[in-house]
Amino acid sequence: MNMIVCVKQVIDPEAPPSSFRVDEAGKKVVPPAGVPPVISPFDENAVEAALRIKDVQGGKITVISMGVNLLREVVKKPLSMGADELVLLEDEAFAGGDSWSNARALALAIKKIGVYDLIFCGRQAADWDEGQVGSGIAEMLGLPGVTLARKIDVSDGKARVEQVTADGYEVVEVSLPALITVSNELGEARYPTIKGIMAAKKIEPIVWKPADIGLEPEQAGAAGRKIILQKLYQPVHEGKCEIIEGESPEEAGAKLALKLREAKLL
Amino acid sequence: MAEYSGVMVHAEAEEGKLAAIATELLGCGRRLADDLGEELSAVIVGSGVSNLAAEAFASGADKVYLVDDALLQDYQTDTHVPAVEKVVRQAMPRILLLGQTSIGRDLAPRLAFRLETTATMDCIELDIDPGSKRLRRTKPVYGGNARAVFTSELDPQIATVRTKAMTPLAPDTSRKGEVVNVAAGLDSSKVRTRVLEKVKQEVEGISLEAANVVISGGRGMGGAEGFKQLEELAKMLKGAMGASRPPCDNGWVPDVLQVGLTGKIVAPDLYIAVALSGSSQHMAGCSGCKNIVAINKDPEANIFREARFGVVGDWKKVLPAFSAKVKELLAG
């Protein structure tokens, strides 16, 4: 089983909301000081999905990450969890892309890798929350896909995927090769082991530039965008919380109920 | 060559009726179409869906494209994307709106890439730029910490819209329109997926989306046990219980109770958040609620920036006293 997982390095979405800053003129987010970037959480779920298949039936997992200033200790995390190979699309030209230019570059990199049965992506990245790149890659490679997976079983050249729906899930069978986007309902990603971290240290990432994957400069990153970002801003918080106090937590609790009655909310 | 014109809504059906999101999209689509001075159409794709056209007209559509085919019974990428693609190529709408539902999340990006245009997902505001006449798409990004406004020069302009973000029109059953039947023309040998089973994870009582009161617990609940107290309180208030992501991920409560960016979007009159920090990702699911009440021991928790009333304290002490007082007030 040859598997490819696409992961994105993002600003840590768990960073306190109060540390979040937007540079409105530059239309970009200012990374919070002292908070290192992380692999986008749903992409970690995607790595976990591939590892669970490898646990059962073996196989090879190649991880692809794209961007600039990719911190090795961040993008190597999937290796320390148990993935086998890391391909980095690392170049200034890849920066500032949208769903189109990102999907195109990743699809070309996957074509260059050539051998795959399953491709995994997180359901959406923690920065732009679009959830389009997985479907875009599948379209460009002409592959079937299942989005929002919570469980995947592979046998006889097919994957049985539990796909999250609003009120439960559907079991969908898809022929391979296929692209699957993974949701958090799959369960938490495993922690790297000491052995895994040692093994990851010895793996040198393969670095590809746009020319290595046959990507024209005008189609890479910001140059290849089809959507125009007009404005980026932080919504205003009204922030007028009335704190109900009491001699004891119990008294405060009771007073809260009275307050809600007074406000006609009970 | 024909030009792109008008607004089209992809209207999902649910249990033999238009889904709530479909009427919300038609309400929004009507406003955009009127701004442009153009037509509003709906595309309804499924099996046995012809009777839904009347409902679409009543909700604001001028024209309904129906693609009714047994192969379209279940949503599958390989059947529904070509069906909608065919209608879009025929009707050439300037704008296409879909719901940010499990179907819309799958359909919109596939369709956008196939038509070589752009989609913007999970929009909460849509309007027409007065100068360029292009669709301005506002969506929360960075888990709700920021908002982005996008436009695109490419047609059709595709956007998915968050549930409960738009207001439906009051139904007007006297409205009529034109029905256009479009043959699906599907080749079943090209369908690479098969739906084997549909599993509903039933939750007792009132559904989260419909409830007027929602009581949600967060990571600080510490385990499944504490949620029993929330459930009792929800019952007492004739509301529903929800949760942020950690309790779902930890298996304390079923996944279908998750409120947030990637879970349910709720807009009750009263939202009580217990031991829940109020991450932006969670607040995305309840920001439509004007009356958020927080019980949290951390005075710095983000939830207090969003709440109207709050108690700083350990929920294990605050909640039983709160619930007892509520019970007394409701009885008296």
The CATH number that applies at residue B281 is 3.40.50.1220
| Interface contact A226-B198, CB threshold 8 A | no
| Interface contact A132-B112, CB threshold 8 A | yes
User: How many Cβ atoms sit within 10 Å of the Cβ of residue B301?
Assistant: 23
Residue B184 and residue B284 share a domain: no
Expressed in angstroms, the distance from the first to the final Cα of chain B is: 72
Q: Which residues of B touch A99 (CB under 8 A)?
A: 109, 118-119
Residue A263 and residue A184 share a domain: no
Q: Is residue B205 part of a domain?
A: no
Signed CA dihedral, A129, A86, A140, A48: sign only: negative
| Nearest chain B CA: its distance from A53 CA (Å) | 20
Task: Report CA Rg, chain B.
Answer: 22
What six digits make up the tokens of A202? 């010895």
Residue B233 and residue B135 share a domain: no
Residue A204 and residue A175 share a domain: yes
Residues 79-98 (B) with a CB less than 8 A from some CB of A? none
Q: In what order do the strands lie in the sheet with A168-175?
A: A206-208, A85-90, A60-67, A2-7, A118-122, A178-182, A145-155, A158-165, A168-175, B193-200
Q: Is residue B167 part of a domain?
A: yes
Instruction: Answer yes or no: is pLDDT of B187 > 80.
Output: yes
Residue B63 and residue B169 share a domain: yes
Instruction: Answer yes or no: is pLDDT of B8 > 60.
Output: yes
Residue B315 and residue B268 share a domain: yes
Once rounded to an integer, what is the mean pLDDT over residues B140-156? 96
Mean pLDDT of the residues in chain B = 96
8 Å CB contact between B33 and B6: yes
Residue A76 and residue A191 share a domain: yes
CA atoms of B316 and B295, how far apart (whole Å): 10
| Interface contact B150-A230, CB threshold 8 A | yes
Residue B218 and residue B140 share a domain: no
Q: In what order do the strands lie in the sheet with B292-296?
A: A242-243, B309-312, B292-296, B270-274, B213-217, B240-243
Which residues form the domain of A53? Answer: 2-224
Instruction: Answer yes or no: is pLDDT of B287 > 90.
Output: no
A163 touches chain B (CB under 8 A): yes
Once rounded to an integer, what is the mean pLDDT over residues B162-167? 95
Mutate to test the interface with B, among A118, A233, A260 (most CBs of B within 10 A): A260
- At A160, the amino acid letter reads R
Q: Is residue A230 part of a domain?
A: no
A266 touches chain B (CB under 8 A): yes
Which residues of chain A register pLDDT less than 50?
A: none
B249 membership: H or E segment, kind and range: helix B245-249
Q: Is residue B201 part of a domain?
A: no
A198 touches chain B (CB under 8 A): no
Residue B230 and residue B132 share a domain: no
Residue A13 and residue A39 share a domain: yes
Identify which of B149, B237, B329 has the shortest CB distance to residue A230: B149
CATH number at residue B107: 3.40.50.620
Q: Is residue A213 part of a domain?
A: yes
Secondary structure of residue A24 in the 3-state scheme: coil
Residue A103 and residue A80 share a domain: yes
Residue A253 and residue A166 share a domain: no
Q: Is residue A209 part of a domain?
A: yes
Mutate to test the interface with A, among B80, B98, B105 (most CBs of A within 10 A): B105
pLDDT, residue B230, reads: 97
CA atoms of B63 and B42, how far apart (whole Å): 6
Once rounded to an integer, what is the mean pLDDT over residues B116-136? 98
| Interface contact B113-A248, CB threshold 8 A | no
pLDDT, residue B246, reads: 95
8 Å CB contact between B124 and B165: yes
**C-beta pairs of A17-20 under 8 Å, 24+ apart in sequence:** A17/B145, A17/B279, A17/B280, A17/B302, A17/B305, A18/B302, A18/B305, A20/A234, A20/B142, A20/B145, A20/B146, A20/B280
pLDDT, residue B1, reads: 57
CA atoms of A138 and A177, how far apart (whole Å): 10
pLDDT, residue A17, reads: 83
Residue B162 and residue B101 share a domain: yes
Residue A175 and residue A93 share a domain: yes
pLDDT, residue A16, reads: 84
CA atoms of B1 and B220, how far apart (whole Å): 61
**Given pLDDT bands bounded at 50, 70 and 90, which one contains residue B162?**
very high
Q: Is residue B21 part of a domain?
A: yes
Residue A242 and residue A176 share a domain: no
Secondary structure of residue B206 in the 3-state scheme: coil
Residues 171-200 (B) with a CB less than 8 A from some CB of A? 192-200
A203 touches chain B (CB under 8 A): no
β-strands A85-90, A118-122: how paired?
unpaired
pLDDT, residue A98, reads: 98
pLDDT, residue A187, reads: 92
Mutate to test the interface with A, among B145, B202, B292 (most CBs of A within 10 A): B145
* Cβ density class B1-39: b for 16+ within 10 Å, e for less: eeebbbbbbbbbbeeeebbbbbbbbbbbbbbbbeebebb
Instruction: Between B1 and B313, name the one with better pLDDT.
Output: B313
Once rounded to an integer, what is the mean pLDDT over residues B76-100? 98
Mutate to test the interface with B, among A40, A179, A236, A250 (most CBs of B within 10 A): A250
- The residues with which A23 forms a beta bridge, in sequence order, are A28
Q: Which residues of B touch A173 (CB under 8 A)?
A: 193-194, 196
pLDDT, residue B109, reads: 98
The per-residue pLDDT for range A166-214, each reduced to its tens digit, is 989 999 999 999 999 999 999 999 999 999 999 999 999 999 999 999 9
Q: Is residue A217 part of a domain?
A: yes
Residue A193 and residue A154 share a domain: yes
Residue A150 and residue A65 share a domain: yes
Q: Is residue A229 part of a domain?
A: no
- Nearest chain B residue (CA) to A236: B146
Residue B142 and residue B175 share a domain: yes
Residue A6 and residue A90 share a domain: yes
Q: Is residue A231 part of a domain?
A: no
| Complex prediction ipTM | 0.95
8 Å CB contact between B269 and A265: yes
CATH number at residue A32: 3.40.50.620
Which residues form the domain of B57? Answer: 7-190
Signed CA dihedral, B162, B165, B171, B172: sign only: negative
| Interface contact A231-B194, CB threshold 8 A | no
Residue A31 and residue A82 share a domain: yes
Identify which of B74, B154, B256 has the shortest CB distance to residue A168: B256
Residue B79 and residue B12 share a domain: yes
| Interface contact B113-A135, CB threshold 8 A | yes
DSSP secondary structure letters along A113-151: H---SEEEEESS-TTT----HHHHHHHHHT--EEEEEEE
Structural domains counted in chain B: 2
Structural domains counted in chain A: 2
Q: Which residues of B touch A258 (CB under 8 A)?
A: 325, 329
